[in-house]
Amino acid sequence: MFTAQQVTALTAQTAVASAIGAYDVNGVLLPDWQLNDSNDPVYLGADIATRGVGVYGQSPAALTLTGFLKPGTIDTYLQDPADTLAVLLQSSVWTGLLGVTSLLDYLNFPLIQNLAQQALLQGSYQGLIDTGMMTGDESARFQAALVQPAAQYGVDAVIAWIVGVSPPDMIGKIQMAARQGQYAIDFVDAYSAQLNVAPSLSGYDNTVQRQDLDQLVSNIIGNAKIPNIIYSDAAVAVSVVAPMLTDEDGIFRFAPDNPLRK
């Protein structure tokens, strides 16, 4: 799939796309923003339902899939998106994973947010494999065009886009995320030698961060025995065939035995 540098670029691209100005022209913090423990501005307004949470604009669905929000939170408390902030501010909906017991905890740790985003990329990759949208042998640029929007909007949303049945309001969003994914790969291909944006994969193994990422990915996929991403840049032609439609909710669709699947 991707090198460590490419994963760094993909997450960085998501952060840039999700960034919102927190200060007015006079340098004053805007309403609904506050400073976290590192004095970085974090958004805590009602529009969190559409802007998402934290550096990467992660949705409640993403936070549930990565194990930070308790299963059932969305169905029980978030039928109305207007309730998103009030619900996320309740410590009772957080699982305590990696020590995160509240929304403010999560916003205080950009590293944990990054691990969650990496886990979403890996879970989306596996979901696209499971549904036949990819084989795992395509070029990184091809994969990024599908994985990047899948990590943000869900595997089913990307499938609908591929087969031409995506809702009109989603087409532009997915196309934009697909282009951003390709740009991230192109950027690394052009500048990785100068930037050295991430450690080698061998240096990334057997670290606490690697263990935490594996735990988050396991939460998403629901089966720790599912193989990890195969790192490859081999470019081959692939025939994309849409799977049969199901009655699933379509937020994210990963491994067949994912306990979060309906």
Identify the pLDDT of residue 139: 92
Identify the pLDDT of residue 194: 64
Rounded Cα distance, 41 and 124, in Å = 29
Identify the pLDDT of residue 172: 92
Please give the C-alpha separations between residue 116 and each of 69, 87, 109, 140, 213, in angstroms, as whole numbers: 12, 20, 11, 21, 7
Identify the pLDDT of residue 83: 95
Rounded Cα distance, 143 and 145, in Å = 5
Identify the pLDDT of residue 179: 93
pLDDT digit string (tens) for the chain, length 262 residues: 788 889 989 999 999 999 999 999 999 999 999 999 999 999 999 999 999 999 999 999 999 999 999 999 999 999 999 999 999 999 999 999 999 999 999 999 999 999 999 999 999 999 999 999 999 889 999 999 999 999 999 999 999 999 889 999 999 999 999 999 999 999 888 887 665 544 443 333 444 455 565 555 545 544 333 333 333 333 333 333 333 333 333 334 333 333 333 3
Identify the pLDDT of residue 253: 39
DSSP string for residues in 179-206: HHHHHHHHHHHHHHHHH--S--HHHHTT
pTM: 0.76
